[in-house]
Structure 1
Amino acid sequence: MYKTKPTIVLGFHACTESTARKLISDSGGFTPSGNSYDWLGHGMYFWENSWYRAVQFAHDRAITSPAVVGAVLHLGYCLDFTDSESLSYLSSSYSALKDTLEIFGKPLPINKPGSGLSSDDLLLRDLDCAVINFLHSQRERENRKRFDSVRGVFWEGNDIYPGAGFKEKNHIQICIRNPNCIKGFFHPREVDTAYDVV
């Protein structure tokens, strides 16, 4: 009953310049990510209210001709991992996936750090992706309401100072599954330094 998010949020998506032009002109449309390691399952990814983190991501990925587009998002019926009930769905989905794979003699996927990185961050999240996608497919099989979006908080990167509880790349990520949640794309503006930022 309380899964529908009533607010509009801004999201930022790192991509190539040509993709940014297509999104903003509405000629490219919605292209969901379908990687096995996607952190929040399959869908289109946005950094919630963080243009800066999207720019960092484009730089870290060495995207050729990088760009960041803004999007106005309505999360709709949201699988929100800042909510304990959504986390309980995830726990149940893990158990069901594990049992299903055991029946077929297949191993569970695993989360692992990215290759060649000094960080312990789990950047390749095959297990999380499989569990979340399994949750969505279970709901579809049971004719239950589909989630429009998935939202998660991630603590990523190095400690920002010794003993800190904060990491240098903490962020909230949004995965849009229903393209109708995207109300529009835009070019982020530069700050007009003659005025206060509001």
Structure 2
Amino acid sequence: MSRLATSFVLGYHGCDAEVAAEIINQRAELIHSDRDFDWLGPGAYFWESDPVRAREWAEWKVGRGDYKEAAVVGAVIDLRNCLDLQNAEDRELMRAAHGSFAIVQKKSGLPMPVNKSAPGQPNADRILRYLDCAVFRHLHSIIDEQPDGPYRVEPFDTVRGMFTEGDALYEGCGFTARSHVQLAVRNNACILGLFYPPAT
């Protein structure tokens, strides 16, 4: 799956400047997000090859009052066993996981989660990805709970997805202003090095 692509990538993590210093100086590890609406399920999140987008996100968090000062931490990431949603085989795996999750929810009498737009933004991208996150968690739990044996699937170290987001770059085009590739690192051993990127 992941071995069909180059294994090493550069990722950029937007965060508060104080947190960035702790991470760079190895006094703290990257925080793994585990919210019910995370786009790629649980993990430490990075913008692949895009420090500018990481900074924009951190500055947005400053504007909301979540951070005092925006910063970006760069990372050399070995994708290892990657659930790569740019790959047809992995997309089919996600489709199967969704079908399995739907059966579990129905048997349990529970509704299916739904991806939603943020409050006050009814026509915006569905940035609250409750359904997608639940399917990722379901897939990871199936893999984690399988017995050892010759056909055992190894747990995924990273998850990678491409997202089209934002308005069209110009009238009639197929590109959007905030499209990006995002990574969720589930296994911190995949992070081979950390650095401050050049000023963005």
TM-score (structure 1 length as normaliser): 0.91
Equivalent residue for 1:122?
Answer: 126
Q: Deviations over 1:156-184 (max 9, x none)?
A: 00111122211100000000000000011
> Which of 139, 142, 164 lines up with 1:138 in the alignment?
142
Worse overlay, 22-31 or 75-84: 22-31
Equivalent residue for 2:27?
Answer: 27
CA RMSD across the alignment: 1.5
> Which of 139, 144, 153 lines up with 2:162 in the alignment?
153
**Pair 153,111 (structure 1): closer, same or farther in 2 beyond 3 Å:** same
Q: Deviations over 1:74-109 (max 9, x none)?
A: 110100000011001100110111110111110011
Q: How many residue pairs get matched?
A: 190
Q: Deviations over 1:38-88 (max 9, x none)?
A: 000000000000001111111233333111111111110100000011001
3-state SS of paired residue (2:136)? helix
> Which of 109, 117, 130 lines up with 1:113 in the alignment?
117
Worse overlay, 126-135 or 23-32: 23-32
Q: Deviations over 1:94-143 (max 9, x none)?
A: 01111101111100111011122365211000100000111011011114
3-state SS of paired residue (2:81)? strand
3-state SS of paired residue (1:76)? coil
Worse overlay, 90-99 or 134-143: 134-143
Equivalent residue for 1:44?
Answer: 44
**Pair 118,102 (structure 1): closer, same or farther in 2 beyond 3 Å:** closer
Equivalent residue for 1:89?
Answer: 93
3-state SS of paired residue (1:138)? helix
Equivalent residue for 1:17?
Answer: 17
Identify unmatched segments of 5+ residues in structure 1.
Answer: 192-198
2-structure distance, mates of 1:187, 1:91: 37
Worse overlay, 71-80 or 25-34: 25-34
3-state SS of paired residue (1:85)? helix
Equivalent residue for 2:150?
Answer: none
2-structure distance, mates of 1:39, 1:177: 13
2-structure distance, mates of 1:39, 1:112: 12
Identify unmatched segments of 5+ residues in structure 2.
Answer: 148-152
1-structure distance, mates of 2:49, 2:119: 28
3-state SS of paired residue (1:117)? coil
Q: Do 1:93 and 1:135's aligned partners in 2 also have CA atoms closer than 8 Å? A: yes
Equivalent residue for 1:194?
Answer: none
Q: Does 1:188 align with 2:197?
A: yes
Equivalent residue for 1:56?
Answer: 56
Identity of aligned residues (%): 36
